[in-house]
């Protein structure tokens, strides 16, 4: 595909559940050490070339290339070479490049990888560029300016925000007489799922037991967390309870049959009308509209005490390479991508709700799906339920893949709950080095 005057590799996308299942524990083998020379290049006329890599859909590639064309127009002395890969291919290639000392100058990143690559001396601390005036950390929404900081270092700059939500098939919920409100409890949620099963002929939920980020919220509601700064923040007994209830939900039909869910992938169970709801990131809502025939909305996260959801705003980020020969140009590129209003008009909510006020105000969604996403996050801010994000230690990405895979084994009856818990803790302790 050619987009914005550049050739990029494009491939069909895979949903995150399928993606992580495919990843399994294999990502643990993708270790690396930073070595070798820096990246980026310059020319005799003062023009600098930086390399920018990301993952995502074909549509994201098209939009990003449009923003790069705009950047180069406004910064004629900085040229940008692009590299686009599907999620798993991106990280495999990134590891190969980083282990050879030649990672991209700037790249898309996520919270689960910050400590991992910081420990491997791959990530550029952008604090110096902020102090030099090449990158502004002003005007970020809802505390997002802190999202990419680790131990005082600025390792990533958010490009957008998202949060966990319950995506629902609105007509099904309406026919069942269910109207979730902020502060509804887990007991009310489970009653609602059973009512949908009994009155609408489908499972209430696609199966929440394998969603690591949702389990993190549940733990945070109860004074714990999935991760601490250096390991797991819950016990084997905690997970036995969570997965036991999840397996009981599958057997009772409250949660969808995992075999049916696997058969229809990469299509979601909600869009396939196997289940009436599913916990996922709010900005993924647009996926259901494109896949299904119904109308889809966002319902609040259930609570333990009627008020605490444990939620935070998450984000994709842009990070720089510690090996880059052009940290100033990398910083200016990141600054442009997170602050320029025209970028927001091009990207929309592809990477979440824009992180800075300049971009948030520049893009006003007109379609119903993006309006719902904006309203959902606005409600989270206004009701003040947001909390600081749980630290993600090095190896968090491997833990997430293992959690989903082992949880699915429980749902499919391949392992007992006790066996599954032991398997997960064994893999997690290896990944976390504990």
Which structural domains are found in the chain, ordered by start? 2-158+319-352 (3.40.190.10), 164-311+391-432 (3.40.190.10)
The number of beta carbons lying within 10 Å of the beta carbon of residue 72 is: 16
The number of beta carbons lying within 10 Å of the beta carbon of residue 218 is: 22
Pairing of strands 2-3, 149-150: unpaired
Closest CA to 91 of 40, 155, 26, 36: 26
Task: Report the chain's C-alpha Rg in angstroms.
Answer: 22
pLDDT of 10? 38
pLDDT of 185? 97
Strand partners, 282: none
Name, in order, each residue with C-beta under 8 angstroms of 97's C-beta and a sequence gap of 6 or more: 103, 104
- d(CA 206, CA 194) in angstroms, rounded, equals 13
- d(CA 315, CA 355) in angstroms, rounded, equals 8
Predicted confidence (pLDDT) per residue in 363-416, tens digit: 999 988 889 999 999 999 888 899 988 778 989 989 998 999 999 999 888 999
Element (H, E) at 67: helix 58-74
DSSP 185: B
Q: With a cut of 50, which residues of the chain have pLDDT below it?
A: 1-37
Q: Are 20 and 212 in contact (CB under 8 A)?
A: no
Calculate ∠ Cα 368-371-373, nearest 5°. 115
pLDDT of 46? 86
- d(CA 337, CA 344) in angstroms, rounded, equals 8
The number of beta carbons lying within 10 Å of the beta carbon of residue 129 is: 23
């499919």: which residue's tokens? 412
């504990």: which residue's tokens? 434
Closest CA to 49 of 78, 73, 76, 75: 78
pLDDT of 39? 61
pLDDT of 40? 62
pLDDT of 112? 86
């Amino acid at each position: 595909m050619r987009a914005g005057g550049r050739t990029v590799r494009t491939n069909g996308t895979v949903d995150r559940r399928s993606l992580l299942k495919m990843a399994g524990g294999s990502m643990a083998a993708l270790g690396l050490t930073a070595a070798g020379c820096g990246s980026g290049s310059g020319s005799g006329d003062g023009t600098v070339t930086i390399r920018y890599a990301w993952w995502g859909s074909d549509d994201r590639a098209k939009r990003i290339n449009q923003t790069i064309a705009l950047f180069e127009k406004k910064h004629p002395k900085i040229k940008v070479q692009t590299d686009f890969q599907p999620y798993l291919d991106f990280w495999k290639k990134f590891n190969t490049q980083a282990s050879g000392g030649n990672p991209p100058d700037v790249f898309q990143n996520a919270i689960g990888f910050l400590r991992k690559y910081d420990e491997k001396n791959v990530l550029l601390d952008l604090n110096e560029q902020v102090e030099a005036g090449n990158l502004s950390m002003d005007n970020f929404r809802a505390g997002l300016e802190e999202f990419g900081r680790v131990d005082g270092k600025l390792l990533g700059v958010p490009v957008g925000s998202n949060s966990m939500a319950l995506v629902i098939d609105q007509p099904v919920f309406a026919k069942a007489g269910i109207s979730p409100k902020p502060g509804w409890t887990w007991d009310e949620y489970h009653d609602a799922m059973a009512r949908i099963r009994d009155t609408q002929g489908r499972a209430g939920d696609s199966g929440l037991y394998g969603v690591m980020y949702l389990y993190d919220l549940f733990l945070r509601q109860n004074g714990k967390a999935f991760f601490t700064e250096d390991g797991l923040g819950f016990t084997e007994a905690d997970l036995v309870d969570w997965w036991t209830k999840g397996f009981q939900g599958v057997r009772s039909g409250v949660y969808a049959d995992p075999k049916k869910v696997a058969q229809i992938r990469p299509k979601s169970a909600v869009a396939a009308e196997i289940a009436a709801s599913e916990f996922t990131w709010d900005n993924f809502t647009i996926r259901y509209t494109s896949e299904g025939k119904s109308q889809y909305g966002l319902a609040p996260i259930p609570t333990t005490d009627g008020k605490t959801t444990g939620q935070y705003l998450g984000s994709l980020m842009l990070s720089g390479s510690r090996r880059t020969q052009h940290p100033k140009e990398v910083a200016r590129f990141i600054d442009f991508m997170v602050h320029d209003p025209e970028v927001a008009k091009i990207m929309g909510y592809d990477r979440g709700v824009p992180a800075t006020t300049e971009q948030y105000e520049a893009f006003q969604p007109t379609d119903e799906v993006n309006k719902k996403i904006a309203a959902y996050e606005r409600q989270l801010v206004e009701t003040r339920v947001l909390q600081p994000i749980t630290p993600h230690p090095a190896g968090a990405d491997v833990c997430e893949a293992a959690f989903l895979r082992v949880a699915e084994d429980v749902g499919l009856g391949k392992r007992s709950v006790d066996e599954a818990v032991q398997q997960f803790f064994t893999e997690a302790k290896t990944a976390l080095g504990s």
